[in-house]
Structure 1
Amino acid sequence: MSARYDDVLMAVVQQEGSIKGLLHAFFDFLHRKTDLYVVSDNPKRSMGFAPGQAQNLVLNSFQSFPMKPIEDVQPQVAAAPHAQKEKKTSTRSQVEITEEGKQVPVGNGGFTDKYTWTQSLQDLTVSIPIPKGTKSKDLNVKFTQSTLCVKMKGKDEPVVEGKFGGKIKVEDSLWSLESNEALVVSLEKAAPKT
């Protein structure tokens, strides 16, 4: 499972701008959509956790990965603001920061005024900011083997529209809303014909 969700999680980090933002988005999701924050003393409960049990679950998950010395760490996600300043003075590979203080997308990606993207040889992930509070029913998202079009329902002007540089596998591609503030489109690239 180590790399399975990298594209989606990287899109969240890019959208939120920091590890703290990623964690806040993750725990906000757990609070709204799961029973992690439901506490019950009833031993016959069908949902929720005994007092302290959820915190222990989170702590155990955190502790299941070893801490790394600074020299082993590769800059892959945006660090906290004070840590970014330290990295800028380092002679090692650096996290690039825009004038607005946001991390330049990593993962062979880029950004425009309308979206950011990352890609690998097999996958492409596009993160599109949308108005806060937007629901999936408010969006019209269409992709074909070679195009993507995102519109707000009832509007003629697309939020994003364009052609891909290559073909995608439509049946293996999907989109989702992240914190009702970003549309994340995860696409699988079609194998190039040789």
Structure 2
Amino acid sequence: MSAEEEKYDGLLLAIAEKHKDGISEFLNTIASFLRRKTDFFTGARQDQWESLLMTVFQKQYDLAMKINTSIKNERIDERADDKKKVAHASKVEIGRQEDIPIDEISEQINEQEEGSEKDEIGKLKPNAGNGCTFDNYSWTQTLQEVEIKIPIKNSSSLRAKDVSVIIGKSSLLVGLKGQEPILNGTLCAEIKQEDSVWVLQDNKTILITLEKVNKMNWWDRLVTTDLPISTRKINPEPSKLSDLDGETRSLVEKMMYDQRQKELGLPTSEDKQKMEILEKFKSQHPEMDFSKCKFS
């Protein structure tokens, strides 16, 4: 089934949902539209528009029968293949059934969940500020900005002129003048240079605030050479979300939800809405076959 053929499915399904009396009422609406808004009936002889209708519906009927036959053949092949596998398994010495490890069965049942967990291997747990803490520096984040703290050890009388900070659009270099940089790399995402600042705090800590360009995504690392954190485990403070206006907050919460659903291989909010419409229509029209209906 081509994308061109499916592009009106959502619209047609929404229209069909409003026809409580079934397919005949739906087809009557289409015929009524052709009568009122076009010359479909009056612009040709009766035998011509009847022939056109029969040609269109015959084509769709032939396709439906072809697909239905193909599905039946696939099921027959699958059953035959299953029988072969069972017959083969019966010939293999596998020992007593009670010797099969329970954890192997659990592993098969939870295959999808474990698949998503594999993606988390090697990722660090976010710190309390939804960032990460390293030996030389730490960083935290909100959806709007990133804050970096770099403590300078054994320097109680450090002055701003001793510090070198270069903030680029997508890069950051921090260190003491005349020494190797403490932090030097490509940022996870672009920032607004004009709104990003740094200060020397208590003569011993360099504090940098970076303004994000994209305020709808969480960073999974500060610079590209860092190990990533698990953005699935980020928990934004409710007070931060409450600072947003209602419309922006709803959008942010929806995007966060959809991002996590995609990472888990689960339906997004839009996918769920489409499925709810389909399920409602299916319940209203049990006489119709929706086995091949899907949304891309």
**TM interval, short-chain normalised:** 0.3 to 0.5
Higher helix share goes to which structure? 2
Higher strand share goes to which structure? 1
TM normalised by structure 1 equals: 0.43
TM normalised by structure 2 equals: 0.29
